[in-house]
Amino acid sequence: MGFYLAVSALALLLFFPVSKMIWVLSVRRSERKLGKKLTAEETNGQLARARFIAIPLVSVFSWLFNLQLYSRLYG
């Protein structure tokens, strides 16, 4: 039970900064590619995409990190 709680807590803590980082990188790349500022609708679309990408990314990372941590602590 503690393992899954730790995985969930770490994933939740990492979700917001990771999604923000993915969003910023995506918006900058799109603006550079198009050569203009994105509209609010396009920016919101990039935010939804960044959140969608961040969910599996932080979940897998959190699970693997805690798996490694628990195996080192508890053998």
Interval 28-72: pLDDT, tens: 999 999 999 999 999 999 999 999 999 999 999 999 999 999 888
Q: Helices (DSSP H) in the chain: which residue ranges?
A: 2-34, 40-74
Residue type, 66: N
Q: Are 66 and 19 in contact (CB under 8 A)?
A: no
Count Cβ neighbours within 10 Å for each residue of 25-45 and write b for 16 or more, e otherwise.
Answer: ebbeebeeeeeeebeeeeeee
pLDDT above 80 for 17: yes
Tokens of 75: 């053998």
**Average pLDDT, stretch 12-36?**
97
